[in-house]
Amino acid sequence: MRDESKGKAPGRGRLTDKRILVVGGGQMDIGETDTPIGNGRAMCVLFAREGARVAVADRDPKAAEGTVALCDGRALAITADVTKEADVVRMVDEAADKLGGLDGLVLNVGIGAGGPWLEGTTRESWDKVLAINLTSHMLSVKAALPRLADGASIVFISSIAGLTAGSRLPAYDASKSALFGLARHVAFEGARRGIRANVVAPGLMDTSIGRLATRGRPNRAATSIPLGRQGTGWETAYAALFLICDESAYITAQTLAVDGGLSGL
């Protein structure tokens, strides 16, 4: 793998002086000592390395602080439960106030819940997944739009489960697909101020959440991927970096799959 894929490439100043809120910037502890970095933590660390100041929001304060410790003094932690609208509003206001404004927002919160197939899906598990994977994103963007600077960028982290069936979790697939529609609306609404909204759709990633998913569905690890391996959190982070920085200034309402060719080949 290249240095970027391993998180070893130096920063290039692509986000100098940008102020970015990453929702879901911590990392789940799954009881392993060698768990590779997750998407949220990798994005925060990479954005800081590229010159941004980062607000790391997470439900778990310990996870958020763990990410902040890796950001060389360029990050701050915010604890928030994004299923609670009051928490979302406070999170956005705290990030904007402490950073002196917002130039970017990344939405990286998501879960899978319930048993497999429709047979294993209860109303309760469906509502829980939609509340976290979709409604929280709507609430976050609603709160953030008035605080975002003109020309800001919003990145939704979805999944190739929104592009092609395969997770066996109907609520997860539906919620991840719905993010594409939400992102398009946000891009439409934000266009008058030059605010862009795009989606990154990771595939099978070797992260803490990825490994937890494999525990529940062991054949996930045997999936044939055209590029021959699962992805890394850093590879998701570099895709988000491109969409959050000014290099993608003329790109909005688009989806970028980061999946080693899995959804397209």
Establish if 110 belongs to a structural domain: yes
Over 80: is that where the pLDDT of 91 sits?
yes
Q: What is the pLDDT of residue 216?
A: 73
Give the model's pLDDT for residue 257. 98
pLDDT at 200 over 90: yes
Contacts of 179 (CB under 8 A, 6+ apart): 133, 134, 137, 156, 158, 162, 199
**Residue 261: pLDDT over 80:** yes
What is the predicted pLDDT for the residue at 101?
98
Give the per-residue pLDDT at 151: 98
CB atoms within 10 A of CB 29: 12
CB 180, CB 159: distance < 8 Å: no
Q: Are 125 and 171 a contacting pair, CB within 8 Å?
A: yes
Strand partners, 77: 56
Q: How far is CA 192 from CA 145, 186, 244, in A?
A: 12, 11, 18
**Tens-digit pLDDT profile for residues 211-236:** 877 787 787 887 899 999 999 999 99
Start-to-end C-alpha separation, the chain: 21
Mean pLDDT calculated for residue range 27-43: 91
**Domain CATH for 44:** 3.40.50.720
> Does residue 264 lie in a domain region?
no
Half-sphere exposure (CA, 13 Å, Cβ side) for 127? 3
pLDDT band for position 61 (50/70/90)?
A: very high
- Classify residue 10: in a domain, yes or no: no
What range does the domain containing 178 cover?
15-258
Tell me what the mean pLDDT of segment 126-142 comes to.
Answer: 98
Q: Is residue 55 situated within a structural domain?
A: yes
Question: Reduced to 3 states, what is the DSSP secondary structure of residue 9?
Answer: coil
Distance of CA 148 to the CA centre of its chain: 18
In this predicted structure, what is the pLDDT of residue 218?
81
Tell me the whole-structure pTM to 2 decimals.
0.95
How far apart, in whole angstroms, are the C-alpha atoms of residue 221 and residue 213? 9
Instruction: Express each pLDDT in 149-189 by its tens digit.
Output: 999 999 999 999 999 988 899 999 999 999 999 999 999 99
Q: What is the pLDDT of residue 24?
A: 98
Q: Give the chain's domain count.
A: 1
Provide the sign of the torsion angle of the four alpha carbons 29, 33, 37, 38, taken in this order: negative
Average pLDDT over residues 77-95: 98
C-alpha–C-alpha distance, residues 132 and 262, integer Å: 26
Confidence tier at 33 by pLDDT (50, 70, 90): confident
Residue 143 lies inside a defined structural domain of this protein:
yes
Report CA-CA distances (Å) from 258 to 63, 188, 223, 232, 264: 25, 24, 15, 10, 11
Residue 9 inside a domain? The answer is no
Q: Of 22-36, 37-51, 148-162, 186-200, which gets the smallest average pLDDT?
A: 22-36
Is a pLDDT exceeding 80 seen at residue 53?
yes
Q: What is the dihedral of CA 3, 11, 59, 182, to 10 degrees?
A: -90
Q: Is the pLDDT of residue 210 over 90?
A: no
Residue 119 lies in a domain: yes
DSSP 21-35: EEET-S----S-SSP
Please state the rounded mean pLDDT for residues 104-115: 93
Query: Does the pLDDT at position 260 exceed 90?
Result: yes
Q: What percent of the chain has pLDDT over 70?
A: 100
Question: 134 lies in a domain?
Answer: yes
% of the chain beyond a pLDDT of 90:
88
Active centre residues (catalytic): 172
> By three-state DSSP, how is residue 152 classified?
strand
Average predicted confidence (pLDDT) for the chain? 95
Helix (H, G, I), strand (E, B) or coil at 69: coil
* pLDDT number for residue 81: 98
